[in-house]
Amino acid sequence: MTDPFEALAQRVAERVLDLVVSALDMNALLDRVDVNALVGRVDVNGLLNRVDVPALLDRADVNALLDRVDVDSLLDRVDVNDLVRRVDVDALVEHTDVGAIIARSSGGAASEALDAARSQVVGLDQFIDRWVQRGLRRKHPAPAGPPALVKGSPIQ
Amino acid sequence: MSAGTRADRPVTSQGHYAGSASRFLAYAVDSTVSSGVFALALAGISYVVSVVTGSHVSWNKGNIAVAIVFAGWEFIYFAYSWAASGKTFGMAILGVRVVRADGTAVGPRHAVLRTLAFPLSFLLLGLGFAGILVQREHRALHDLIAGTAVVYAWDARAARLRFLAREAEPAAGSGRSQQENG
């Protein structure tokens, strides 16, 4: 007795569902969904804990993935100069084998003495120049060097 | 290793106009070396002459011929050095070099002109050198005539890195030996 009614009810329900779904504007519906709130309710860490990353990586063809990366355009977007400026080269030299390589590649005591002597003389140059500029009451700083050698020097 | 901005620290003096102390000391070294080489050459000639002819040759400092030869030697010493590499022996030691006013490499013409104009700075009671002190680009009279300038040619930043490397190497070496022993 119930089978014909059930079948009918099911057909009616499916038909109604089709009509409702076809009448729905899914984009408008999605626009009304607060995705941030939705994501906020998701325990991402818990989700990630359940992911078997090694198995995932085993299934991924990393080489194929890298082949699809446009490295040139990626590097174009990186400010390498800024990156290098942020590196503490002094610390790099002091705490890594780079320092040892530099020390071995550069000269010995003579080179060290020459560096020290030149540094002293440059200091004396700057000391004299500072007092001369002060004595001449110059307001504008002099150019640091010839334009071809020092960036920012005015071209004459 | 720590990352930090180092843009505030002067990176190098390379290419900057050289100051008076560096230039004076470079000239003092050059003057000593060129005079010493000349004196050695005269002594060598005297020795060869005495061996060959048996007669002793003495060089009178007031001799005009010796003075002319000395002037010629000084001209060659400075002009050749500046034309070849932009620096003399003294300049190489002090880490400075001669360039054209715009910073490009000095050629034979500028080198010869600078060498010829160089004595003028002396002849005007040394006032020609005052430009090194007071001129904005530290250019002496002979620099202005020849269209040249003197700049630092050594990399102060590289020197500091070498210094740090030498400081760090003993510590790194002892650390490695401890690891090897352990």
| pLDDT, tens digit (0-9, with 9 covering 90-100), for B34-48 | 999 999 998 898 889
Distant-in-sequence contacts of A28-33, Cβ < 8 A, 24+ apart: none
pLDDT band at A25 (very low <50, low <70, confident <90, very high): confident
Average pLDDT, rounded, for chain A: 78
Q: What are the CA-CA distances from residue A132 to residues A124, B14, B18, B34, B120 (Å)?
A: 12, 22, 14, 31, 23
Q: Which residue has the tokens 């500091």?
A: B160
pLDDT band at A154 (very low <50, low <70, confident <90, very high): very low
Whether A85 sits inside 8 A of B16 (CB atoms) is no
Least confident of A33-47, A98-112, B50-64, B75-89: A98-112
Residues in chain B where the model's pLDDT stays below 50: 1-11, 182
Which of chain A's residues have a Cβ under 8 Å away from the Cβ of B94?
118, 121
Chain B nearest-CA residue for A133: B134
A66 or B32: which carries more pLDDT confidence? B32
Q: What pLDDT score was predicted for residue B172?
A: 53
Q: What angle, 0 to 180 degrees and rounded to 10, lies between the N-to-C axes of helices B156-181 and A97-105?
A: 120
A149: nearest Cα among B143, B12, B165, B81: B12
Give yes or no for B172 touching A (CB within 8 A). Answer: yes
- Encoded tokens for A97: 């084998």
How long, in residues, is chain B?
A: 182
Whether A118 sits inside 8 A of B100 (CB atoms) is no
A118 or B168: which carries more pLDDT confidence? A118
pLDDT at A110 over 80: no
A22 or B92: which carries more pLDDT confidence? B92
Q: Give SS3 for B115.
A: helix
Q: What pLDDT score was predicted for residue B156?
A: 65
* Entry pTM: 0.59
Residue B42 has φ and ψ, to the nearest 5°, of: -65, -40
Q: What are the CA-CA distances from residue A109 to residues A40, A85, B11, B93 (Å)?
A: 64, 30, 23, 15
Q: Give SS3 for B123.
A: helix
Cα-Cα-Cα-Cα dihedral sign, residues A120, A122, A123, A125: positive
Whole-number Å distance between alpha carbons of B104 and B91: 17
* Best A102, A139, A153 residue to mutate vs chain B (most B CBs within 10 Å): A102
DSSP B106: P
Whole-number Å distance between alpha carbons of A119 and A132: 20
Within 10 Å of residue A57's Cβ, how many Cβ atoms? 9
Q: What pLDDT score was predicted for residue B4?
A: 39
Q: Among partner residues B16, B100, B168, which is closest to A99 by beta-carbon distance?
A: B168
Q: pLDDT > 70: what percent of chain A?
A: 83
Chain B nearest-CA residue for A110: B93
Whether A124 sits inside 8 A of B173 (CB atoms) is no
- Encoded tokens for A126: 């700057």
- Per-residue pLDDT tens over the stretch B126-156: 888 888 988 888 999 999 999 999 999 877 6
CA B21 to chain centre: 12
Whether B136 sits inside 8 A of A147 (CB atoms) is no
Whether A146 sits inside 8 A of B14 (CB atoms) is no
Q: What is the mean pLDDT of residues A137-147?
A: 81
Please name the residues in contact with A84: beta carbons below 8 A apart, sequence gap of 6 or more: none
Q: What pLDDT score was predicted for residue A74?
A: 80
Give yes or no for B29 touching A (CB within 8 A). Answer: no
